[in-house]
Structure 1
Amino acid sequence: MAFSATRPQSSIRVMAEKSKLVKVGVVGYGHLGQYLVERIQREGAAAGLSLAFVWNRNTERLRGSVPQELILEQLSQFTERVVDVIVEVCHPRIVKEFGAQFLSRAHFLALSIRMSKHPSCFRLSGDLLSDWTEGEGRRVLFKGSVADLCPLAPNNVNTMAAAAIAADSLGFAGVTGEIVSDTKLSEFHVVEVEVTGADGFSVTTVRRNPAQAGAVTGNATRGSFWSSLLCCEGHGGRVYLC
């Protein structure tokens, strides 16, 4: 278990030493962050988990839902808390800025889900999808390397990024990513993964994740994060892709 050197005798540390609960910090308080925080508070003790801290860019969103003593006003203050696992469910720039520090203190779970969606579910840079209209049907927004796609759709291409990391012989430049806007997908996000091998061999998987129009995160993704959190046992400097 990782402890803060700056507060060796704090009440937080004393409580953690007396408990076997895994201390979880949640970075981000969108739909997925809210789901995890609420579930940890409701079921965490039975599952061996407790809440170490919650951070959100707008801390006012946390008032009334998160105990004041668990709210981080500044993310850099996470080093003052006893934490075993840090779950990042916000913007990828937070990973860029704080990822190395997170890994020096705790396990770090990275978000990894990308789906073809109703246009209202995408969060894209620039004007890539500013002109969509209901009833237009299917539109391919981008097809190319994941390296080029990630900056265009940082909130929607986590499955692709995870695949690029796992397929280390291909990398981000060698994995092809495609995002599709489809006004018919008002109830699901759809992920299609195709693996092609030698002599024409290929395997294709299709997954449908229930989600309402406008939702960046599908319903089943919340359960996926919860299951991953239950499997994470403590500090080790590892990245988990869920």
Structure 2
Amino acid sequence: MAQDGKRRRIGIIGFGHLGQYLTEMIEAEGQQYGFELAFVWNRNQRKMEGKVRKELQLEDLNKFVARCADLIVEVAHPQIIKEFGEEFLKHADCMVGSPTAFAEQEVDTKCREAARRYGHTLYIPSGALWGAEDIQKMANRGTLKALKVTMSKHPDSFMLRGELQELKERVKGQRAVLYDGPVRNLCPLAPNNVNTMAAAAMAGHNLGFEQVQGCLVADPSLLNFHIVDIEVTGPVNKSSGHEFRVKTSRKNPAPRGEVTGMATYSSFWSSVLTISFRSTPGHKTERGLHFLRVSIEWSLHIGNVSIHQSCTDTALLFRLLNSSLACQQMEMITRRYWKNALCQY
């Protein structure tokens, strides 16, 4: 791991739109936050030509150890975590952008055990899962009784397999529910599309992949947005007999055909920043599985309902840095987040 006075080294696995965005952000702004790129890997090496410095390109993922990464960020495909997740966690912290991999119990168990055994942290970014921390708190207390995530997108934004792909073709041109059932069964059929649902199953761990419900809706009218609706059911009040319920709806700008919504990019960048600052000297991070809070940018985007939480997160990030430079960074970042909030919504 990075020591005091040394930059934290980050490896990026996957060079699709999200991987490119994170790579560019680290190259452009990493120095001011005390971290740098260790490597970038992509299955198709030619995609990185002219975009990633040659010395940073990792040709063989089996040789990642030689690059001495402190944090490995996976934004490629769940198969990467199935094959390499345990090995990654023997040598570095790991932020998993494809948590559908953990729908396979063996993968989940091996990665958690590796994190504990080798003293590293397995991070799950909340991404598009609004309210992840509250869901996790309810699960910890055993008060989470039901959880359902409904994702509605244009059909072209779904990358499906098997029977779901066949169904999507049959209902082409009309709004249709493609799936409604346990998240565990859905993950292998839509591994690139339902990471939000997989994150929900991990946050709501008392229910897990078997009991957390997922619903996929193909809607041709959604040309500019992805919509994620989350329904949380809690305990019944003994005196009134009324049930606790929360429902949120997240409308994420996304061009037709895009798998990842625009707000998710900045959400992942916030997660990288959060991890990096939690790893600064003097701050103790709990090893094992760690679920990252909803991003600062997204909290600000949706308005007053979560301003207090986002300010708490900001304080957490910058309380760790005792310098005038840190104060300047906090002022600059807070201003940029508010600018994004005002311009985008």
Provide the TM-score with structure 1 as the length reference: 0.87
Can you list the C-alpha shifts for 1:67-98, whole angstroms capped at 9, x where unaligned?
A: 11111111111111111111111111111111
Q: 144, 151, 168: which one pairs with 1:129? A: 168
1:150 and 2:187 matched:
yes
Can you list the C-alpha shifts for 1:186-238, whole angstroms capped at 9, x where unaligned?
A: 11111100001224321001101110001111111110111010111349555
Q: Distance in 2 between matches of 1:139 and 1:128?
A: 9
Q: 85, 98, 110: which one pairs with 1:99? A: 85
Q: 148, 152, 155: which one pairs with 1:119? A: 155
Q: Distance in 1 between matches of 2:201 and 2:177?
A: 21
Structure 2 vs 1, CA of residues 95 and 113 (structure 1 numbering), >3 Å: closer, same or farther?
Answer: farther
Conserved 8 A contact 1:103-1:238: no
Partner letter of residue 265 of structure 2?
R
Q: Distance in 2 between matches of 1:160 and 1:90?
A: 17
- In structure 2, runs of 5+ residues without a counterpart are 98-126, 130-150, 237-241, 280-284, 295-345
- RMSD, aligned α-carbons: 2.0
Provide the TM-score with structure 2 as the length reference: 0.62
| Identity in percent | 51
Can you list the C-alpha shifts for 1:5-56, whole angstroms capped at 9, x where unaligned?
A: xxxxxxxxxxxx7962221100001110011111111111122221100000
Q: How does 1:173-192 map to 2 (within 5 A)?
A: 173-192=210-229
User: Which residue pairs with 1:42 in the alignment?
Assistant: 28
Conserved 8 A contact 1:109-1:239: no
Q: How does 1:170-209 map to 2 (within 5 A)?
A: 170-197=207-234, 198=236, 199-209=242-252
| Shift >6 Å, 4+ stretches | none
Conserved 8 A contact 2:181-2:215: yes
User: Which residue pairs with 2:201 in the alignment?
Assistant: 164
Conserved 8 A contact 1:105-1:237: no
SS in 2 for 1:72: coil
- Report the alpha carbon displacement of residue 101 of structure 1 after superposing the two structures with TM: 1.1
1:78 and 2:64 matched:
yes
- Report the alpha carbon displacement of residue 131 of structure 1 after superposing the two structures with TM: 4.0
Structure 2 vs 1, CA of residues 57 and 121 (structure 1 numbering), >3 Å: closer, same or farther?
Answer: same
Conserved 8 A contact 1:32-1:89: yes
Conserved 8 A contact 2:203-2:291: no
Q: Distance in 2 between matches of 1:161 and 1:77?
A: 29
Identify which of structures 1 and 2 has the higher relative contact order when contacts are C-alpha pairs closer than 8 Å and 6+ apart: 1
In the alignment of these two chains, the number of paired residues is: 226
Structure with the larger helix share: 2
SS in 2 for 1:25: strand
User: Which residue pairs with 2:266 in the alignment?
Assistant: 223
Structure 2 vs 1, CA of residues 66 and 240 (structure 1 numbering), >3 Å: closer, same or farther?
Answer: farther
